[in-house]
């Protein structure tokens, strides 16, 4: 065997032995020794126990790993955030330009939820949510129901604010709140 191949084999064996020392429980009494020339002799267990709860490894009797699912509000928020920087155009409902209620309607449609077209009608739909119970994607209404946006978390809202301003994220406190809804 060539010197490089022996070195690679030895390095791999040592790495495996070191990794095994950290990840595997101590070898049971039934372990079989294996000798790697120039490296040493190691006990190799007849069976290897794999720790429970490793993602991607299914074990008999263990529940399968399930990835968390996003809510419709979170999906709508993702859609709205993807449009930050898009132009404001009165009456536009996407996909390239928006007014406030058009952004909310388009974003929820991307999440598979149909909403009314106007800010006032959006404030009358869904379920009322208090400001201290907001979740990302909840619709927040401003100026007596004349403006709407989606709660982006951390006290912010994503919205199509006004002519000459692109879709943006702004503090909720920058506008007078009228209410919030969850769909």
pLDDT of residue 35: 85
159 part of the active site: yes
Task: Using alpha carbons, list the distances in angstroms from residue 4 to 11, 31, 115, 133.
Answer: 10, 30, 67, 63
pLDDT digits (tens, 9 = 90+) for 67-121: 889 999 999 999 999 999 999 999 999 999 999 999 999 999 999 999 999 999 9
CATH number, domain 72-182: 3.90.1720.10
Q: Which of 139, 151, 157, 159 is catalytic?
A: 159
Q: Which of 79, 80, 100, 172 is catalytic?
A: 100
20 part of the active site: no
pLDDT digits (tens, 9 = 90+) for 28-65: 456 678 888 888 888 877 776 766 666 666 666 667 77
pLDDT of residue 41: 86
pLDDT of residue 81: 98
Q: Look up tokens 């503090």; give the residue.
A: 171
Q: Which of 83, 105, 147, 181 is catalytic?
A: 147
Please tell me the pTM assigned to this model: 0.66
64 part of the active site: no
Alpha-carbon radius of gyration of the chain? 29
pLDDT digits (tens, 9 = 90+) for 121-175: 999 999 999 999 999 999 999 999 999 999 999 999 999 999 999 999 999 999 9
Domain borders along the chain are: 72-182
- Higher per-residue pLDDT: 15 or 40: 40
Parallel, antiparallel, or unpaired: how do β-strands 167-171 and 156-160 relate?
antiparallel
Q: Which of 96, 77, 79 is nearest to 87 (CA)?
A: 96
- List, in sequence order, every beta strand (DSSP E) within 12-120: 32-36, 40-44
Helix axes 72-81, 100-110, angle to 10 degrees: 120
Query: Looking at the predicted structure, is the pLDDT value of residue 12 above 60?
Result: no
């Amino acid at each position: 065997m060539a010197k490089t191949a022996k070195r690679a084999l030895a390095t791999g064996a040592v790495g495996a032995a070191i990794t095994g020392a950290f990840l595997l429980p101590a070898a049971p009494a039934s372990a079989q020794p294996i000798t790697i020339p120039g490296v040493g002799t190691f006990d190799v267990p007849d069976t290897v126990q794999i720790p429970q709860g490793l993602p991607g490894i299914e074990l008999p009797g263990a529940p399968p790993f399930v990835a968390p699912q996003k809510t419709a509000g979170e999906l709508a928020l993702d859609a709205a955030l993807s449009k930050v920087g898009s132009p404001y155009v009165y009456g536009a409902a996407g996909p390239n330009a928006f007014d406030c209620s058009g952004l909310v309607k388009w974003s929820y449609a991307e999440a598979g939820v149909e909403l009314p077209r106007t800010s006032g009608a959006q404030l009358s739909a869904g379920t009322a949510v208090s400001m201290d119970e907001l979740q990302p994607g909840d619709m927040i209404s401003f100026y007596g129901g004349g403006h709407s946006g989606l709660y982006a978390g951390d006290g912010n809202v994503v919205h199509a604010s006004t002519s000459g301003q692109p879709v943006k994220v702004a503090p909720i406190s920058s506008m007078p709140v009228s209410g919030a809804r969850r769909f």
